[in-house]
């Protein structure tokens, strides 16, 4: 792709680094920004700069937050005895959109994947086990995507907390095997949360 401007080329190269965006899409986005008033580009760059510099990780659930404790963890109306274990922020948003869950969350930050070099030590598993040890949690809901990596992560966590006697469940398989949670519709995902099953039952097939 030939560029008439080095500045344009540099901008396209940077935008194309974003996931799912190729050079042609990046070029279209950059040209769109060039057609907008300069203030619009300024607002965008300021928003991204503030996001990068000021965003926090909730010290309790590891969700993305503007404050030390996220809005969910700091909400006294949420049931702190039930914790839903998810992969990332997108899954929290997907489940919240169902309006069917009133417990708390624990964001792992990924799934165990030896092929990608991601082990238990790379995820927020130790802090989850510590929460269970404290005895305040009555039930853990495993809500990772129904892939091999998701099932492996669920089973690993289950073995770590098994001796503490906490109830473990997993979302019902209204979510198709191999599906990512964030792409499920709200009705299906909501029903899967409500109709969750004991985790031990899921690993027995």
- Both 17 and 102 in one domain: the answer is no
Could you tell me if residue 178 is inside a domain? Answer: no
Could you tell me if residue 195 is inside a domain? Answer: no
Could you tell me if residue 126 is inside a domain? Answer: yes
Strands 197-198 and 167-170: antiparallel
CATH assignment of the domain containing 12: 1.10.8.420
- Both 69 and 161 in one domain: the answer is yes
Give tens-digit pLDDT for 159-172.
999 999 899 998 86
Q: In this structure, how many other beta carbons lie within 10 angstroms of the beta carbon of residue 67?
A: 11
CATH assignment of the domain containing 131: 3.40.1360.10
Give tens-digit pLDDT for 26-81.
999 999 999 999 999 999 999 999 999 999 999 999 999 999 999 999 999 999 99
- Both 74 and 161 in one domain: the answer is yes
Q: What is the pTM of this model?
A: 0.78
- Both 72 and 166 in one domain: the answer is yes
d(CA 111, CA 108): 7
Contacts of 23 (CB under 8 A, 6+ apart): 1, 12, 16
Q: Provide the residue range defining the domain that includes 117.
A: 64-171
Could you tell me if residue 68 is inside a domain? Answer: yes
Per-residue pLDDT, 128: 97
Question: What's the structural domain count of the chain?
Answer: 2
CB–CB of 173/146 below 8 Å? yes
Could you tell me if residue 184 is inside a domain? Answer: no
Could you tell me if residue 115 is inside a domain? Answer: yes
- Both 85 and 36 in one domain: the answer is no
- The CA distances from residue 60 to 37, 57, 106, in Å, are 41, 9, 8
Backbone dihedral angles phi then psi of residue 149, each to the nearest 5 degrees = -65, -40
Q: Over pLDDT 90: what percentage of the chain? A: 75
Give the distance, in angstroms, between the CA of residue 148 and the centroid of all CA atoms in the same chain.
17
Give the N- to C-terminal CA distance of the chain in Å, as an integer.
Answer: 52
- The CA distances from residue 75 to 16, 86, 96, in Å, are 39, 19, 14
Could you tell me if residue 177 is inside a domain? Answer: no
- Both 73 and 160 in one domain: the answer is yes
d(CA 9, CA 3): 6
Complete edge-to-edge strand list for the sheet that includes strand 103-107: 103-107, 79-86, 139-142, 167-170, 197-198
- Both 79 and 140 in one domain: the answer is yes
Could you tell me if residue 79 is inside a domain? Answer: yes
- Both 68 and 167 in one domain: the answer is yes
d(CA 58, CA 115): 29
- Both 157 and 76 in one domain: the answer is yes
d(CA 17, CA 23): 9
């Amino acid at each position: 792709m030939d560029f008439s401007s080095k500045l344009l080329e540099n901008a396209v190269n940077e935008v194309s680094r974003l996931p799912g965006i190729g050079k042609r899409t990046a070029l279209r986005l950059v040209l769109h920004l060039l057609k907008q008033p300069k203030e619009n580009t300024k607002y965008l760059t300021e928003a991204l700069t503030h996001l990068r510099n000021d965003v926090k990780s909730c010290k309790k659930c590891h969700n993305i937050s503007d404050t030390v404790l996220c809005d969910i963890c700091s909400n006294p109306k949420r049931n702190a005895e039930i914790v839903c274990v998810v992969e990332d922020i997108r899954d929290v948003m997907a489940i919240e959109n169902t309006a069917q869950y009133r417990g708390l969350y624990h964001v792992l930050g990924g799934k165990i994947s030896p092929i990608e070099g991601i082990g238990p030590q790379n995820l927020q598993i130790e802090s989850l086990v510590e929460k269970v040890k404290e005895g305040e949690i009555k039930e853990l809901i495993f809500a990772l995507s129904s892939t091999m990596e998701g099932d492996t992560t669920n089973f690993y966590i289950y073995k770590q907390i098994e001796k503490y006697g906490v109830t473990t469940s997993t979302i019902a398989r209204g979510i198709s095997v191999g599906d990512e949670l964030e792409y499920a519709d709200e009705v299906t995902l909501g029903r899967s949360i409500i109709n969750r099953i004991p985790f031990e039952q899921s690993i027995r097939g």
